[in-house]
């Protein structure tokens, strides 16, 4: 006897429940059955309900028969589902059967229901159409997996989590990736480790062993040497698999060939960090290296020096020779620079004709030596299109931590130093000092105060007498600017003139000095002392054509004889731009004023240039004159030969910085014409001058 029917009904209304129960009874079955009607919430219970048949009402918006069928087919016993409805269209029946319904029976058609129940009970449980035979499926899937593993664009492997990482399985992509067959690779347990790029080997093996120890993931990008000895970049992602004892047993992973990606990255890096023309590191890379050198220096307490060198008058050279020659020159300079330093990685092309050199562990002295060697290397002419091109360069040095602690600040200070070196006429190496730097907060404040002092007419002129060594007479005075500062005391011109030179204030300052000097000269003239006065004119003013007009204006305003005015310009200012200097100085002599070359001897003015300049006087720099008292005798020789040189060129020679009688006597013995110095008189306010003259052994010259 067959088991009693245990039916479950999924109904759409209480009326449907009683109709189904009546239909079941009419078929000779127990009309009591489990009813589900509350929609999705009931699905869990329905899927577990014990039953031999399920009757599902159609239409049922809460629990559609298709949904019920799907749910029950997931069960191992998968009870048959008979759909009951007031009526069915043909299409509905077809689609319900396709969805897995055993049969569709109209409500009240108990004969059909009885046969449907009978056939449903005698039919074997319908296998899920999506579930083929499990063993066959497993075999098929294994084949698919293997095929997939061997076709994907990645190498897969399994290896022992031991010292050698000897390989148990490696997929055949290995051949295309490295030129090695899987057989070769499997035959040698140490193959992987031995083919690691020497630069990567240690860190990759360390990471591998760490991952095995921690049983964590192993992810690494490294280089492998292929069969030809070429380099292939691998990204290796492995997972450490534990053995029965819980320890690391295998590593299972995959490898992607990332060579192309690495090459692209490298070329992007080269574009970002290297200069295309010279192949030297560029400013960005220099900045990165600088900041790591500065961090290291903070830890070690050792200095770091930064040199910036710029080719003098490079623009003019390029304008004359053309852009292509300019590039050739830059390339050659880059080569020389790298050769001189011996390590191209320490050198960078910062922009145009500017290069940087980073010297870890170098102080200012060492950096200055290196700067000197670079300048020497640049002295050799460069052959461009078989033409020898002579160039010179200027080098600026800044040293951390003395001049700055941050990279950007150090760069800025080295830049300020190179500008200062350029201002000296080029061909020199200058170590940074605060006066070079307009951005130095102290200098910014000082400049503001200077501006206010100029406006308030707080600046003074002191005058230092100049004497004739042959005639023992006073032949003139030099006007020297003084800034009495309420907090700083008397600020020396060496502090504020370089600052004013970098701004538009210099012209104003020069005009102010010229005006004061001309007024003073006029005053002395009226008092019966027609003393010639010398005025210092800075490099910036010299290269400003307006200086000629400014001088003429001052003389005219105060009605001073131009012959009473001498203009002093430094040798370095002349060298900064020879042609412009010749032009301006000729303009000045054209107005009748005399020109004197100041601080002579510390630059390298050529004889040719000296001849070209319309100068009448040469002032030997005080450092040599003061050095005459030393024992070496070298300075004495320089003063003597400079004196001779001046005389040979027909110039009056002045020795400044005479601090003692002995030097004065020696200068007289050399035949030096004029002298100036603390031993004779210190610079003094104009009001003190008459008293000094009255007391002095030096008499007024007949003017």
Q: Which is nearer to Mg ion, 435 or 598 (CB)?
A: 598
Residue 159 in contact with residue 251, Cβ under 8 Å?
yes
659 binds, among ligand C2E, Mg ion, none (CB under 5 to 8 A by kind): ligand C2E
Q: Which is nearer to ligand C2E, 334 or 497 (CB)?
A: 497
135 contacts: CB under 8 Å, gap ≥ 6: none
Q: Which is nearer to Mg ion, 332 or 599 (CB)?
A: 599
Name the token pair of 218: 């192993």
Q: Which is nearer to ligand C2E, 176 or 490 (CB)?
A: 490
Residue 595 Cβ vs Mg ion, minimum distance, rounded to whole Å: 12
Residue 677 Cβ vs ligand C2E, minimum distance, rounded to whole Å: 3
Residue 425 Cβ vs Mg ion, minimum distance, rounded to whole Å: 16
Site for Mg ion in 520-559 (CB under 5 A): 536
d(CA 568, CA 478): 9
Length of the chain (residues): 703
- Which H/E stretch holds residue 129? none
Name the token pair of 267: 């070329």
Q: Which residue, 394, 404, 374, is CA-closest to 303?
A: 404
Residue 535 Cβ vs Mg ion, minimum distance, rounded to whole Å: 9
547 binds, among Mg ion, ligand C2E, none (CB under 5 to 8 A by kind): none
Residue 365 Cβ vs Mg ion, minimum distance, rounded to whole Å: 26
- Phi and psi, residue 400, nearest 5°: -95, 145
Q: Which is nearer to ligand C2E, 317 or 464 (CB)?
A: 464
Q: Which is nearer to ligand C2E, 332 or 598 (CB)?
A: 598
Name the token pair of 409: 């600040």
d(CA 419, CA 576): 11
Residue 606 Cβ vs ligand C2E, minimum distance, rounded to whole Å: 22
If you count DSSP H runs as helices and E runs as strands, how many of each does the chain have, helices first? Answer: 28, 27
278 binds, among ligand C2E, Mg ion, none (CB under 5 to 8 A by kind): none
497 binds, among ligand C2E, Mg ion, none (CB under 5 to 8 A by kind): ligand C2E
Give Cα 675 distance to the centre of its chain: 53
Q: Which is nearer to Mg ion, 536 or 584 (CB)?
A: 536
Site for Mg ion in 107-146 (CB under 5 A): none
Residue 66 in contact with residue 21, Cβ under 8 Å?
no
Q: Which is nearer to Mg ion, 157 or 624 (CB)?
A: 624
Residue 506 Cβ vs ligand C2E, minimum distance, rounded to whole Å: 8
Residue 478 Cβ vs Mg ion, minimum distance, rounded to whole Å: 6
Residue 424 Cβ vs ligand C2E, minimum distance, rounded to whole Å: 13
Instruction: Spell out where 614-661 has E strands.
Output: 617-620, 652-656
Q: Which is nearer to Mg ion, 156 or 464 (CB)?
A: 464
Q: Of all residues in this chain, which one has the CB nearest to ligand C2E in the complex?
A: 677
Q: Which stretch binds Mg ion (CB under 5 A): 34-42, 82-90, 305-313, 592-600?
A: 592-600
d(CA 220, CA 255): 10
Residue 634 Cβ vs ligand C2E, minimum distance, rounded to whole Å: 19
Residue 512 in contact with residue 545, Cβ under 8 Å?
no
419 binds, among Mg ion, ligand C2E, none (CB under 5 to 8 A by kind): none
544 binds, among Mg ion, ligand C2E, none (CB under 5 to 8 A by kind): none
Sign, CA torsion 173/178/183/188: negative
Site for Mg ion in 79-108 (CB under 5 A): none
Can you give 144-168 as a three-state secondary structure string?
Answer: HHHHHHHHCCCEEEEEECCCCCCEE
Residue 504 Cβ vs Mg ion, minimum distance, rounded to whole Å: 23
Residue 599 touches Mg ion, criterion: CB under 5 A:
yes
- CA distances (Å), origin 677, targets 126, 228, 463, 513, 661: 122, 80, 12, 21, 11
Residue 623 Cβ vs ligand C2E, minimum distance, rounded to whole Å: 9
363 binds, among ligand C2E, Mg ion, none (CB under 5 to 8 A by kind): none
Q: Which is nearer to ligand C2E, 309 or 477 (CB)?
A: 477
Q: Which is nearer to ligand C2E, 432 or 463 (CB)?
A: 463
Instruction: Spell out where 61-110 has E strands.
Output: 81-85, 103-106
d(CA 102, CA 120): 7
357 binds, among Mg ion, ligand C2E, none (CB under 5 to 8 A by kind): none
Residue 616 Cβ vs ligand C2E, minimum distance, rounded to whole Å: 16
CA angle 447, 515, 462 (to 5 degrees): 70
Residue 453 in contact with residue 447, Cβ under 8 Å?
no
Q: Which is nearer to Mg ion, 102 or 511 (CB)?
A: 511
Q: At what angle are helices 314-321 and 323-341 packed, to 10 degrees? A: 140
Q: Which is nearer to Mg ion, 428 or 596 (CB)?
A: 596
Residue 679 Cβ vs ligand C2E, minimum distance, rounded to whole Å: 6
- Which H/E stretch holds residue 74? none
317 binds, among Mg ion, ligand C2E, none (CB under 5 to 8 A by kind): none
Which residue reads 């951005």 in tokens?
A: 439
Residue 605 touches Mg ion, criterion: CB under 5 A:
no
Site for Mg ion in 568-587 (CB under 5 A): 568
Going by their DSSP bridges, the two strands 155-160 and 248-257 should be labelled as antiparallel
User: Strand, helix or coil at 360?
Assistant: strand
The gap between the terminal CA atoms of the chain, to the nearest Å, is 155
Which residue reads 């200095």 in tokens?
A: 303
Q: Which is nearer to Mg ion, 60 or 642 (CB)?
A: 642
User: Strand, helix or coil at 50?
Assistant: coil
Q: Residues in the site for ligand C2E, rule: CB under 6 A?
A: 464, 480-481, 492-494, 497, 513, 536-538, 568, 598-599, 622, 656-659, 676-678, 683
- Sheet arrangement for strand 304-311: 347-351, 354-360, 304-311, 393-400, 429-431
Q: Which stretch binds Mg ion (CB under 5 A): 163-171, 304-312, 420-428, 566-574?
A: 566-574
Where does residue 151 fall: left (phi above 0), alpha (psi -120 to 50 degrees), or beta otherwise? alpha
**Of 598, 617, 635, 673, the one binding Mg ion by CB under 5 A:** 598
481-520 mask for Mg ion (x: CB under 5 A)?
A: ----------------------------------------
Interface ranges with Mg ion (CB under 5 A): 536, 568, 598-599
């Amino acid at each position: 006897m067959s088991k009693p029917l245990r039916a479950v009904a999924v109904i759409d209304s209480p009326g449907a429940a009683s109709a189904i129960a009546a239909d079941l009874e009419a078929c000779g079955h127990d009309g009591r059955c489990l009813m589900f009607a509350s929609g999705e919430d009931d699905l869990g219970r329905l899927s577990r309900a014990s039953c031999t048949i399920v009757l599902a009402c159609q239409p049922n918006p809460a629990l559609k028969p298709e949904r019920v069928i799907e749910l029950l087919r997931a069960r191992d016993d998968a009870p048959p589902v008979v759909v009951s409805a007031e009526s069915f269209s043909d299409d509905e029946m077809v689609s319900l059967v396709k969805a897995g319904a055993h049969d569709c029976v109209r409500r009240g058609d108990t004969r059909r229901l009885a046969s449907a129940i009978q056939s449903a009970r005698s039919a074997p449980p319908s296998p899920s159409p999506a579930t083929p035979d499990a063993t066959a499926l497993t075999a098929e899937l294994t084949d698919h997996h293997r095929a997939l593993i061997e076709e994907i664009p990645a190498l897969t492997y399994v290896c022992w989590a031991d010292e050698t990482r000897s390989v148990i399985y490696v997929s055949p992509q290995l051949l295309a990736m490295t030129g090695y067959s899987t057989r070769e690779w499997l035959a040698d347990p140490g193959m992987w480790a031995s083919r690691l790029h020497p630069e990567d080997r240690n860190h990759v093996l360390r990471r591998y062993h760490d991952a095995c120890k921690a049983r964590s993931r192993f992810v690494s990008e490294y280089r492998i040497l292929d069969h030809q000895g070429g380099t292939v970049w691998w990204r290796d992602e492995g997972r450490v698999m534990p053995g029965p004892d819980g320890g690391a047993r295998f590593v299972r992973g995959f490898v992607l060939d990332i060579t192309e990606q690495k090459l692209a990255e490298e070329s992007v890096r080269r574009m970002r960090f290297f200069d295309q023309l010279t192949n030297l590191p560029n400013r960005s890379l220099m900045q990165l290296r600088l900041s790591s050198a500065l961090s290291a220096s903070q830890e070690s307490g050792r200095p770091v020096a930064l040199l910036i060198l710029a080719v003098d008058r490079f623009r003019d050279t390029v304008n004359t020779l053309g852009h292509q020659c300019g590039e050739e020159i830059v390339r050659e300079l880059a080569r020389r620079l790298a050769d001189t330093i011996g390590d191209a990685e320490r050198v960078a092309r910062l922009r145009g004709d500017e290069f940087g050199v980073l010297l870890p562990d170098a102080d200012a002295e060492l950096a200055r030596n290196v700067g000197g060697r670079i300048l020497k290397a640049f002295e050799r002419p460069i052959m461009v299109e078989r033409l020898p091109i002579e160039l010179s360069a200027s080098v600026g040095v800044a040293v951390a931590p003395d001049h700055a602690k941050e990279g950007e600040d150090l760069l800025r200070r080295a830049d300020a130093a190179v500008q200062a070196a350029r201002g000296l006429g080029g061909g020199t190496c200058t170590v940074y000092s605060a006066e070079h730097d307009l951005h130095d907060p102290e200098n910014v404040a000082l400049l503001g105060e200077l501006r206010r002092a100029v406006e308030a007419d707080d600046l003074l002129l002191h005058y230092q007498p100049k004497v004739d060594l042959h005639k023992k007479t006073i032949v003139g005075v030099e006007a020297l600017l003084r800034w009495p500062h309420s907090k700083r005391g008397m600020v020396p011109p060496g502090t504020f003139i370089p600052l004013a030179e970098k701004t538009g204030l210099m012209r104003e300052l020069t005009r102010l000095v010229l005006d004061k000097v001309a007024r003073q000269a006029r005053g002395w003239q009226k008092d019966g002392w027609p003393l010639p006065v010398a005025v210092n004119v800075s490099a910036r003013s010299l290269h400003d054509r307006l200086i000629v007009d400014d001088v003429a204006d001052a003389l005219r305003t105060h009605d001073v004889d131009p012959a009473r005015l001498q203009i002093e310009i430094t040798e370095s200012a002349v060298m900064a731009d020879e042609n412009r200097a010749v032009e301006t100085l000729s303009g000045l002599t054209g107005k009748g004023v005399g020109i004197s070359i100041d601080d002579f001897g510390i630059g390298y003015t050529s004889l040719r240039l000296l001849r070209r300049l319309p100068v009448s006087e040469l002032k030997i720099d005080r450092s040599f004159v003061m050095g005459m008292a030393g024992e070496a005798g070298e300075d004495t020789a320089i003063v003597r030969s400079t004196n001779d040189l001046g005389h040979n060129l027909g110039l009056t020679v002045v020795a400044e910085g005479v601090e003692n009688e002995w030097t004065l006597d020696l200068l007289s013995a050399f035949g030096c014409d004029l002298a100036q110095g603390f031993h004779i008189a210190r610079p003094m306010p104009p009001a003190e001058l008459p008293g000094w003259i009255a007391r002095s052994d030096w008499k007024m010259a007949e003017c």
